[in-house]
Chain A
Amino acid sequence: MRPLSRFKSLYGAGPLHLLALLASFAIAAAAVVGWFQRPRDVVSVLIWFAAAIVLHDAVLLPLYSLLDRIAFGRVGRRAGRGRELSHLVNPTPYIRIPVVLSGLLFAVFFPVILGLGTQTELSATGIPESGYLARWLLASGVMFAVAGVSYAAAVARARPPAGSAAPASPVTTATPPASPAPTTPSAPTMPSAPATPPAPATPPAPATPPAPATAPAPATPPAPATPPAPG
């Protein structure tokens, strides 16, 4: 074997890969040496470093996914089976977006919202800061209200005009619930039939073929029981 291909088969990638990572580790090690300028701080810095990973990967993200699955599981399952939704417009984004944005504001500003820095700030600046909990609730309330109004408007628009049998279009554009962002694209409505079939490449677990849009909706569907996406 030529030296290069032997290296690749042993290491699993080219030499540049190794060099880049070694250079990176060397710089990171120099940074850790920097932490050692305050030896008493090193342990707590490393603990916070590791805790950040654990808290995010093992607690917060799984918790979010679980809550999302609980909240929107039914909607997703019904849509997955191609069953008629009792509503014309998919409500999921109208709930998920304000919840996520409100949660984001809390995740970022929990120290002021809960007043955790108030004492430090008061003694430092002499300014008694308060009322951030109310501000956060107000901001959340506005976002939920905007989402609610947008949802109502989307439903009104999706409702078939009197006399016509079906909605004019299975996908209507609705006002985005997240009004602060002019960039927010419109939320699509949920088609009552699965216009975008999930994964035609890999049929769901049961051998029964997944009901395509044309299949008669069985009373007892093959129930792929796909849990919804942990949004």
Chain B
Amino acid sequence: MRLPVVDLTRTPRGPFRPDFWRSPLRGPWLTALLGLVLMIGTPIVVVTGLISNAAYQPLLAGNSIGTNLSPLDLYVFTWPTRPVWLYALTEGLHVTIGLALFPVLLVKLWSVFPRLFEWPPVRSPAHALERLSVALLVGSALFEFVSGIVVMQFYYPFPFFFTAAHYYGAWVFIAAFGAHVLLKFGTMRRGLRTRGDVMEAAGASPGPTSLAAVSPGPVTMSRRVLLGTVGAGSLLLLLQGAGGSIGGPFRFLSFFGPHGYTGSGPLDFPVTETAAAAQITPASVGAAWRLDVVGTRSLQFSREQLLAMPQHTYDLPIACTEGWSTTQRWTGVRLRDLAALAGVNESATVTSSTVQTDLNGGYVVTLGSEQVADELSLLALRVNGVDLSLDHGYPARVISPAVPGTHCHKWVSKLAFSPVLT
């Protein structure tokens, strides 16, 4: 059997010919400028993403996103409790800046698209490895942006577990992005210096290695207008993210964000899981409900007994992975008071389980010793002066500063305090 022979010295027709690409807008300056924006912007998205992931305290029992931790699960600090809006900020920035950079990424890919068809496809081992690295870069960038964007909208078209796929996908991106910046930084600097429509339109050394078209078509739109359009697109998306993250009166900016919360009552703020979705039955949270508190001794409390304890009221934000957050006024018992009652006076973590855990195997969550020790960490019984509603976690829910919303358990049935061995 003979393999078809490809003559690498002869450039095939179509997109492999440099003169196939006509847009006069492409060129080293445009690509370098978009690259500069991405070089500054994507690290913000990456770092806020990693920090937001650290907020889930994956090293504590029950919190890990994978079954085992990989070498990439580096957590160099314990999650703090101040400022109280820390998680709302990091996750809000992650989502908002990520949205705003998406148009820049698309136009950057468009600007270098002819490179996909360069001929010969491989010039040297170095070239082959670099192209492989670019494939990882483009694949991981699209994967990360698209998976993040659809999940923000509650759309899960894929069969895999989003959190782990998105987290490790981010590491593929970080690896490929780092190499790309390292190898292309000089090219970018040179590209920025070519500044301008004039030089490139005048045909400043367009060649097989230049991004500029060798025989550009007529200019139907200037490069400034192109950049302005990218800027407008970024701004449109930025508002979508920012409106939801800042919340309150700014929520209207989020034209495509959740709009169902139109009421102004004390209980009219978002939830990501209703009692119905969690299959909480009224009986399980009725008069028979008890809170188990486990430390060096075990105690049980009814809701009335909890209400009879010293109550504290704080304004704390609750922030969700989807990027929105909302600050409400919570009233309840301090977690550290409950720990003391259970005989745990030293530094301790707390693992909470819920009525849902008991009913149908919902997840358990562990908060760190900094969260337990903080005076603002509450087992909340009331919000904005009224009893919690069932959707907001009646009879009792955890609220703790700077902790992701999904780690503030609702319908709590058990709090187990474990002293930290030092």
Task: Check if A and B associate.
Answer: yes
- Chain A residues with CB under 8 Å of chain B are 10-13, 17-18, 20-21, 23-28, 30-35, 37-38, 41, 44-45, 48-50, 52-53, 56-57, 61, 72, 75-77, 79-80, 90, 92-93, 96-97, 100-101, 104-105, 108-109, 111-113, 116-118, 120-121, 123-129, 131-132, 135-136, 139, 176, 178, 180-181, 183-188, 190, 194, 196, 198-202, 204, 226-231
A30 to chain B, nearest CB (A): 5
Query: Which of B35-43, B174-182, B298-306 is near enough to bind chain A?
Result: B174-182
B residues 224-272 near A (Cβ < 8 Å) are 224-225, 227-229, 231-233, 235-237, 239-240, 255-256, 258-261, 270-272
Cβ-based interface call for B187 (8 A): no
Cβ contacts B85-105/A at 8 Å (1 or 0 each): 000000000000001001100
A112 to chain B, nearest CB (A): 5
Cβ-based interface call for B218 (8 A): yes
Q: Is the CB of B130 within 8 A of A21?
A: yes
Q: Is the CB of B218 within 8 A of A101?
A: no
Considering the complex, give the chain A residue whose CB is closest to the CB of B170.
Answer: A31
B16 to chain A, nearest CB (A): 14
B residues 104-155 near A (Cβ < 8 Å) are 106, 109-110, 113, 116, 123-127, 129-130, 132-133, 135-136, 138-140, 142-143, 146-147, 149-150, 153-155
Q: Is the CB of A229 within 8 A of B142?
A: no
When chains A and B are docked, how far (Å) is the Cα of A53 from the Cα of B144?
12
Q: Is the CB of A52 within 8 A of B139?
A: yes
**Chain B: interface residue total (CB-CB under 8 A):** 105
Q: Is the CB of B153 within 8 A of A196?
A: no
When chains A and B are docked, how far (Å) is the Cα of A226 from the Cα of B219?
11
- Beyond the given A56-B138, A93-B220, A105-B236, could you list 5 further A-B residue pairs with CB under 8 A, ordered by the A residue number? A30-B171, A44-B158, A48-B165, A187-B225, A198-B24
Q: Is the CB of A17 within 8 A of B225?
A: no
When chains A and B are docked, how far (Å) is the Cα of A199 from the Cα of B23?
11
- Chain B residues with CB under 8 Å of chain A are 22-25, 66-68, 70-73, 99, 102-103, 106, 109-110, 113, 116, 123-127, 129-130, 132-133, 135-136, 138-140, 142-143, 146-147, 149-150, 153-161, 164-165, 167-172, 174-176, 178-179, 182-183, 197, 201-203, 206, 213-222, 224-225, 227-229, 231-233, 235-237, 239-240, 255-256, 258-261, 270-274, 276-277, 391
When chains A and B are docked, how far (Å) is the Cα of A157 from the Cα of B91?
47
B360 to chain A, nearest CB (A): 14
By a CB distance below 8 angstroms, the chain B residues around A127 are: 258, 260-261, 270
By a CB distance below 8 angstroms, the chain A residues around B201 are: 196, 198-199
B382 to chain A, nearest CB (A): 20
Q: Is the CB of A31 within 8 A of B153?
A: no
Q: Is the CB of B67 within 8 A of A76?
A: no
By a CB distance below 8 angstroms, the chain B residues around A178 are: 228-229, 232
Q: Is the CB of A38 within 8 A of B154?
A: no
A217 to chain B, nearest CB (A): 15
Q: Is the CB of B203 within 8 A of A18?
A: no
When chains A and B are docked, how far (Å) is the Cα of A49 from the Cα of B176?
14
Given contacts A135-B256, A226-B22, contact A41 B139 (CB under 8 A): no
When chains A and B are docked, how far (Å) is the Cα of A38 from the Cα of B143?
18
By a CB distance below 8 angstroms, the chain B residues around A92 are: 220-221
When chains A and B are docked, how far (Å) is the Cα of A108 from the Cα of B111?
20
Q: Is the CB of A38 within 8 A of B126?
A: no
By a CB distance below 8 angstroms, the chain A residues around B179 are: 20-21, 23-24
When chains A and B are docked, how far (Å) is the Cα of A123 from the Cα of B236?
29
When chains A and B are docked, how far (Å) is the Cα of A135 from the Cα of B236?
14
B27 to chain A, nearest CB (A): 12
By a CB distance below 8 angstroms, the chain A residues around B214 are: 199, 202
